[in-house]
Amino acid sequence: MIFKKFIFGITIYFLASCTCENNSKAMKNTEGQGKQDKSTEKKSEIASSKKGEKSATKEMEDIEKVKALHLAASQSCKIIVDSSDQMKYSQNGKDLKTLKVPSACKKFYIHLKHVGQLPSAAMGHNIVISKETDVDDLISKSLRAGKKGHYLPGDPRSLAQSHILLGGSAGDVKEDFIEVDMSKFMKNEKYKFYCTFPGHYAMMQGEFIIE
Ligand SMILES: [Cu+2]
């Protein structure tokens, strides 16, 4: 009888310990699985966020490249020219003595600004572009046109010109846009750009070069 009880006891013990072990193994496995799932989830989250970051960065880079290209394209056939009370043409604060136009430009655009304070009657500016050999004639004609005619020559030898005389006082027009038709220009000819306001040519003139 005692022996039977002993055998029963041992059997129960083994069964119990076996079930516990299995349970704890199963729990451990579930925990492990959970951990693994979480880490996989985290990894894929990081990967996808990195991927997202990467594609966003790439997109930004592309936008910047396109912007730069547009800027380069627009700048190469376009220039902003300031004219001042110091009787100077300048670009970005530097004296402008040579205006270079890439030969690829079919049209060249000049945005002329008056950045001074003096009125157009005292310190008016414009731009005329012509062959160097036509300068003297066109300046004479401009003087005859007077302020009423914005000191513009009104002559087809003036290949491009601003519409008006710019000034710096409250009532003056302060900027003008000049479209230069490059088909009028020949590669081996000498051209000049200049202001035809009386007395300004000596200070306000430069070479207009097609390269
Ligand atoms: Cu001038």
177 vs 48 pLDDT, higher one: 177
Cα 32 from Cα 38, distance rounded (Å): 10
In terms of Cα–Cα distance, which of 183, 201, 182, 155 is closest to 78? 182
The order of strands in the sheet holding 175-181 is 94-95, 89-91, 78-83, 107-114, 175-181
Q: How far is the CA of 2 from the centre of ligand 1 (A)?
A: 127
Going from the Cα of 125 to the center of ligand 1, the distance in angstroms, rounded, reads: 4
How many whole angstroms from 169 Cα to the centroid of ligand 1?
A: 15
What separation in Å is there between the alpha carbon of 126 and the centre of ligand 1? 6
What DSSP assignment string belongs to the chain?
Answer: -HHHHHHHHHHHHHHHHHHHHHHHHHHHHHHHHHHHHHHHHHHHHHHHHHHHHHHHHHHHHHHHHHHHHHHHHHHHTEEEEEE-TTS-EEETTEE--EEEE-TT-SEEEEEEEE-SSS-HHHH-B--EEEEGGGHHHHHHHHHHHTTTTTT----TT--EE-SS-B-SSTTS--EEEEEEEGGG--TTS-EEEE--STT-TTTSEEEEEE-
**85 C-alpha to ligand 1 centroid (Å):** 8
Residue 20 has pLDDT above 50, yes or no: no
Q: Average pLDDT over the chain, rounded to whole?
A: 81
Question: Ligand 1 centroid vs 95 CA: distance in angstroms?
Answer: 14
Q: Ligand 1 centroid to 206 CA: how many Å?
A: 12
- Ligand 1 centroid from CA 128, angstroms: 11
Is pLDDT larger for residue 128 or for residue 25?
Answer: 128
CATH superfamily of 78-210: Cupredoxins -  blue copper proteins (2.60.40.420)
Residue spans of the domains in the chain: they are 1-76, 78-210
CA distance 103 to 30: 74
Higher pLDDT, 35 or 90: 90
The per-residue pLDDT for 54 is: 64
Quote the ligand 1 centre to 48 CA distance (angstroms).
Answer: 61
Q: Which pLDDT belongs to residue 61?
A: 77
Q: For the residues of 116-130, what is the DSSP string, one character each?
A: SSS-HHHH-B--EEE
How many angstroms does the Cα of residue 87 sit away from the middle of ligand 1?
Answer: 6
- At residue 181, does pLDDT exceed 60? yes
Q: 196 CA distance to ligand 1 centroid (A)?
A: 7
Distance 165 CA to ligand 1 centre (A): 9
> Ligand 1: distance of its center to the CA of 200 in Å?
5
Tell me what pLDDT residue 73 has. Answer: 59
The pair of structure tokens assigned to 18 is: 């076996």
Query: Is the pLDDT assigned to residue 9 strictly greater than 60?
Result: no
Q: What percentage of the chain carries pLDDT values higher than 70?
A: 69
pTM, two decimal places:
0.66
